[in-house]
Structure 1
Amino acid sequence: MTPPKNLDELMRRCHALAGLTLGQLAAEANIAVPDNLKQDKGWTGQLLEQLLGASAGSRAEPDFPELGVELKTLPINQQGLPLESTYVCVAPLTGVGQQQWQDSWVCRKLSHVLWLPVLAERSLPVAERVVGRGFLWQPDHEQRQKLQQDWEELMDLIALGGIDQIRGEHGEVLQLRPKAANSKAVTAAIGNEGEPILTLPRGFYLKTGFTRQILAKAFC
């Protein structure tokens, strides 16, 4: 699929997916459906990226770079509530002292998001999960403030060697969690006395309470 030329085209494509199952969409894209997503956690997002014409791939830019829009799939239950936190991006663990919020990858990723809810109750086979109605979102002033405050506090802890003290409870809307395929995947970080250490890679995630508010506002 070629990249969409503008936001209207992107949203037309997005709304055309609403109500269809992942099995139907995978058949259209000639892609095999995995039995479960334990080993293929990013499969749903990759399928929808392909169908919508996302072109960024693994490059450090929004999924639709020409439009400055990031795609985020959001697994929800029958009640329309998020089932899990939402991955944003990998967290830098070294050389972070001079980073500013406005230049951060979290800020850029979340400046304009196409949210695509997917009914994904864990009891539902992957092929029977249903795509909902997507919507565009930009954080309002209060949301931006909360995101920035959490990011700055977490980055301060990283810079001061407190990486191993950070827990999922840190942050009101944004959290830092280990992100690695296994415990052997390690990366460089700063220890509590400023010494270089090796630790699990970390990723920034949006807490479910925050995405629940985004959904409620979009569909109120």
Structure 2
Amino acid sequence: MQPTPKTEQELLMRANALAGMTLGELAQIANITVPPDLRRDKGWVGQLLEWHLGASAGSKPVPDFADLGIELKTIPVGYHGRPLETTFVCVAPLIGLHGLCWENSHIRHKLARVLWIPVEGERDIPLAERHVGSPLLWSPSAEEEQQLRQDWEELMDMIVLGQVEQITARHGEVLQLRPKAANSKALTEAYGANGQPIKTLPRGFYLKTHFTAGLLEKYFIL
């Protein structure tokens, strides 16, 4: 693992140095084995980049670069530079929601400053041969934050009203809520329609692809 970067500039310099390299080359430097595919190793690309960039958080619920307040997000892109999938942000709280508002929410904290790193994600490119793209250090604009806040408030209202089971991936303009569990036995507590406790799958907040595509387009002028 590389030492933790001391400044934003240092982190960005490191990220820029990775641009154009393949995952195979980066794995070799880190002495990490490249899995045959990502089916069983979903977080592998992120972990490889964390190693090279010196991310310190591990699995703790703080930004990846805790001292800098920066979250690392890899984003698999297709041949035309568009994101291939939604981006997981964090697990959604389903109980103990009293006093929770957008300003003090975990998701707002997570998205305050993000280092986006696009990585080739087309399935027909062998994992080791996929290239890393140029990084983007981003904070939401006032308009982007407003979109995120609006969706978050709408989804949280539904959770508070006991409608968590009615929420589908279609709810929300830029943010969606959907099950996030390794298997269907991993149940958690939530509120039912009459305020009674129910068991349901954990839910996660995800950024929709058109939102992340908009970010990449705006900054990289694809």
TM-score range, shorter chain: over 0.9
When the two chains are superposed, the root-mean-square deviation of aligned CA atoms in Å is 0.7
- Residue type of the partner of 1:97? H
Read off the aligned partner of 1:28 and give its amino acid letter.
I
CA distance in 2, matches of 1:201, 1:124: 32
Give distance in 1, aligned partners of 2:126 and 2:194.
Answer: 48
CA deviations on 1:141-197 (whole Å, 9 max, x unpaired) are 110000001001111111110000000000000000101111111111111111111
The answer to whether the 8 Å contact 1:116/1:134 transfers is: yes
Residues 56-67 of structure 1 mapped to structure 2, 5 A cutoff: 56-67=57-68
Q: Tell me the residue number matched to 1:2.
A: 3
The aligned amino acid for 2:107 is V
Name the residue aligned to 1:166: 167
Specify the alignment match of 2:82 in structure 1: 81
Structure 2 stretches of 5 or more lacking a match?
A: none
Q: Does 1:53 align with 2:54?
A: yes
Which residue of 2 is the match for residue 132 of structure 1? Answer: 133
The SS at the match of 2:154 is helix
Unaligned runs of 5+ in 1: none
- Whether the 8 Å contact between 1:97 and 1:159 is mirrored in structure 2 is no
Question: How many pairs align?
Answer: 220
Number of the residue aligned with 1:144: 145
In 2, Cα distance between equivalents of 1:98 and 1:169: 27
TM-score norm. by structure 1 comes to 0.98
Residue equivalent to 2:156: 155
Whole-angstrom distance in 1 between the partners of 2:141 and 2:13: 24
Q: Which residue pairs with 2:177 in the alignment?
A: 176
1:98 CA displacement: 2.0
Give the aligned residue type for 1:180.
A
Instruction: Name the CA distance, whole Å, in 1 between partners of 2:70 and 2:103.
Output: 16
Q: Which runs of 4+ in 1 moved over 4 A?
A: none
TM superposition shift of 1:134: 0.4
Deviation at 1:97, TM superposition (A): 3.4
Amino acid of the structure 2 residue aligned with 1:189 = A
Show the counterpart of 2:197. Answer: 196
Q: Give, in angstroms, the shift of residue 128 of structure 1.
A: 1.1
Shift of 1:135: 1.1
Q: Which residue of 2 aligns with 1:114?
A: 115
Separation in 2 of the partners of 1:97 and 1:213?
Answer: 34
Counterpart CA distance in 1 for 2:129 and 2:38 is: 13
**What is the SS of the residue equivalent to 1:131?**
coil
TM-score by length of 2: 0.98
Amino acid at match of 1:37: L
What's the offset of the Cα at 1:31? Answer: 0.6
- Residue in structure 1 matched with residue 12 of structure 2 by the alignment: 11
* Partner amino acid, structure 2, of 1:69: I
After superposition, the C-alpha distances for 1:48-92 in whole angstroms (9 at most, x for unaligned) are 011100001111111101111110000001100000000000111
- Percent identity, aligned pairs only, is 60
What is the rounded CA distance, in whole Å, between the counterparts of 2:104 and 2:39 in structure 1? 33
